[in-house]
Structure 1
Amino acid sequence: MTITPDPKVKYGATFEILREDHTMGNLIRFHLVKEPQVIFAGYKVPHPLEHNVILKVQTTNDTKPDMMVAKALNDLIMEVGYLKQKFVVCLLH
Structure 2
Amino acid sequence: NFTFNVNCMPRMIVQAEGADESCVTYVMHDEDHTLGNSLRYMIMKNPEVEFCGYSITHPSESKINFRIQTKGGLPAIEPFRRGLTELNDLCQHVLNTFEVIIMKFIHIFCV
TM-score over 0.5 (shorter chain): yes
The offset of 1:61, in angstroms, is 2.0
Unaligned stretches of 5+ residues in structure 2: 1-12, 105-111
Residues 52-87 of structure 1, C-alpha deviation per residue, up to 9 Å, x if partnerless? 010010001252101110000000110011011100
Residues 15-67 of structure 1, C-alpha deviation per residue, up to 9 Å, x if partnerless? 00000001111111111111100000010001001000100100012521011
Identical-pair percentage:
25
Match of 2:74 among 63, 73, 86: 63
Runs of 4+ in 1 over 4 A off after TM superposition: none
Match of 2:95 among 81, 84, 91: 84
TM-score (norm 2): 0.78
Unaligned stretches of 5+ residues in structure 1: none
CA RMSD of aligned residues (A): 1.4
TM-score (norm 1): 0.92
Query: Are 1:21 and 2:36 matched, yes or no?
Result: no
The structure with the larger Rg is 2
Greater relative CO (CA pairs within 8 A, separation 6+):
1
